[in-house]
Amino acid sequence: MKKTFNLVICLLYIKLGYLITDASSHSLKFLAIGDWGGIGEFPYTTEAEVSTARQMAKLAEVEHPEFVLALGDNFYFDGVKTVNDPRFQDTFENVFTSDALNIPWYLIAGNHDYHGNVSAQIAYTKISKRWNFPDLYHLQSFTIPGTSDTIDILMIDTVLLCESHDRKEIDNQWEWIERHLRNSNAKYLFTAGHHPIYSIGWHGGKDLLIDKLLPLLYKYRANGHFAGHDHCLQHLQASKENVTVDFIVSGAVSFIDSSTDNIARVPDNSSKFHFGDEDSNGGFCFVDANSDRLKIRFVGANGDDLYQTTIHPRYL
């Protein structure tokens, strides 16, 4: 009788362990970093970049993210010149060396990348197995493991939208953005660009994105916008007509800035979290999404959990 009881208990523990493991495996995990592009002179990295890359690797070895979102300013201060520019090795390949980070990286350009040759960064897609920069703006769609639920991320070129004088190129991208937002049936829907919509940091948000992109996010019930540009970590949140949009700023890899100069330019009570400790080595964003919730977690380069919030699925 005792042996039978012990066997039943053992089987229950095994079954419980299987259910826990199985449930936890039904999530999509990824990292989001911006402004990670080292520095334009030897050793072409900063202490903060190297430290953050090391901590990203430690977390990735445990959490096994599926990809990295790289949100622009990939190479400070003047981008790259050609597809064979040594900066690809010095600032990227030789820094993010962990096998756990040998996963797809999905990239967009920042303003400093436009000081150089963005076409060379796009061309590097054919050279590196993990570098995915197929066009100036591109849609990435991911399926949450074990489900049919998806996450759509529109990787947009905010430099062209906010700083270009090419009206046709600008109009084409706005048409592309609205079309993909309108057509998305994803469980979670985000845009990701170099510039933030809202930010309390030194640069602050972009009026054009507030005027044109934010209304589209509300209209099509998107979850939020990932950005860099300001060298800090932030979570802001705003709502309109029962739609809540979350703004994630993750630009604290190569440099850290404590400024909150633009705190008066964001909606009241929208700033939920800000980290810009200039004595630190920065940090990054980790995302864990399942069918019920999407968790945003900011992690410091020293391994500290700085902040966590939960985003709920869209209700279409």
211 annotated binding-site participant: no
Residue 4 lies in a domain: no
225 annotated binding-site participant: no
Tens of pLDDT, residues 21-50: 444 468 999 999 999 999 999 999 999 999
Q: Is the pLDDT of residue 11 over 80?
A: no
Residue 25 lies in a domain: no
6 annotated binding-site participant: no
| E strand residue ranges, the chain | 28-33, 67-70, 105-107, 131-132, 138-143, 150-155, 188-192, 224-227, 233-240, 243-250, 271-275, 283-289, 294-300, 305-311
Tens of pLDDT, residues 56-72: 999 999 999 999 999 99
Residue 24 lies in a domain: no
Name the pLDDT band for 315 (thresholds 50, 70, 90): confident
157 annotated binding-site participant: no
User: How much is the pLDDT for 5?
Assistant: 45
Arithmetic mean of pLDDT, 148-175: 97
The rounded mean pLDDT for the chain is 93
Burial class (CB in 10 A: 0-12, 13-18, 19+), 152: buried
The CATH number covering residue 260 comes to 3.60.21.10
Arithmetic mean of pLDDT, 284-297: 98
Nearest to 190 by CA among 71, 56, 23: 71
Q: Is the pLDDT of residue 17 over 80?
A: no
Residue 53 lies in a domain: yes
Q: Is the pLDDT of residue 309 over 80?
A: yes
Residue 78 lies in a domain: yes
Name the pLDDT band for 9 (thresholds 50, 70, 90): very low
138 annotated binding-site participant: no
Q: Is the pLDDT of residue 20 over 80?
A: no
The structural domain count of the chain equals 1
Q: Is the pLDDT of residue 1 over 60?
A: no
Q: Is the pLDDT of residue 203 over 90?
A: yes
64 annotated binding-site participant: no
Q: Is the pLDDT of residue 124 over 70?
A: yes
Residue 8 lies in a domain: no
Residue 187 lies in a domain: yes
Q: Look up the domain containing 65 and give its range.
A: 30-311
73 annotated binding-site participant: yes
pTM: 0.92
User: How much is the pLDDT for 212?
Assistant: 98
Tens of pLDDT, residues 233-277: 999 999 999 999 999 999 999 999 999 999 999 999 999 999 999
